Amino acid sequence: MTVATLTSEAKTRSRGRPREFDMDAALDSALRVFSKRGYHATSISDLTEAMGLASGSIYKAFKDKRGVFLAAFGRYRQLGRRRLEAMIASAETGRDKVFQMVMYYTELSYGEAGRKGCLVVGGANDFALLDEEAAAHIVTAFAADEKLMADLIRIGQADGTIPKTVDPAAAALAFLCFTKGLRVIGKTGRSREEMVSAAEAAMKLVT
């Protein structure tokens, strides 16, 4: 037993009985059910079943349902950002980095991943209205994406792969809407081919 958390535990061992469950695995289970069913349609029972924890343990570890969502949300963003940055780093030019970012979301917009949905997009629809702090988390997540996209566009303009005539702020916001829309439409079960062709069409935004 006594499996310590992995990513979250670089710190010293605390007093008292040590946590038995794997925090990251538990959060992965939680975010899976949250993103598929949404915040309000997810019950504590759903979470106990998915996470393999009793309700008492969940409340001890996360304070309340909102706390579970926030923790899962944090992990979701962290993992997503890591994968996204890896894809961007694999591209040479600014324009190709933009394309890789668009493709990152495109690959999440069909089949199983598409149906699972996006925790941020879904959260904007029901979690954000819990309170202002919750809403701020959603806004922050969108803003990070928007800023990254704007940065990539400027890189493209610097290396000559994206015309200087493109307004980075406007194009970044347009891409943000497009990629979040991908996740919405992805819930309805479209084919990879359709979504990729839409993504390729969207690249006209940086011509």
Residues lying near its own copies in the complex (CB under 8 A) are found at: 36-38, 40-41, 117, 121-122, 124-126, 128-129, 135, 138-139, 142, 166-167, 169-171, 173-174, 176-182, 184-185, 187-190, 194-195, 197-202, 204-205, 207
CB 94 within 8 A of CB 172: no
Q: Which does 202 bind (CB under 5 to 8 A by kind): DNA, its own copies, none?
A: its own copies
Residue of 29, 34, 50, 65 that binds DNA (CB under 7 A): 65
Which C-beta is closer to DNA: that of 62 or that of 105? 62
CB 116 within 8 A of CB 35: yes
Closest CA to 161 of 104, 96, 100: 96
**What does the alpha-carbon distance between residue 142 and residue 123 come to, in Å, rounded to a whole number?**
11
For residue 29, give the 3-state DSSP assignment.
Answer: helix
Among the candidate windows 29-37, 49-57, 93-101, 140-148, which touches DNA by CB under 7 A?
49-57
CB 32 within 8 A of CB 50: yes
Which C-beta is closer to DNA: that of 13 or that of 82? 13
Site string for DNA, 6-25 (x = CB under 7 A): -------xxxxxxxxx----
- Residues near DNA (CB under 7 A) are 1-2, 13-21, 42-45, 53-57, 59-61, 64-66
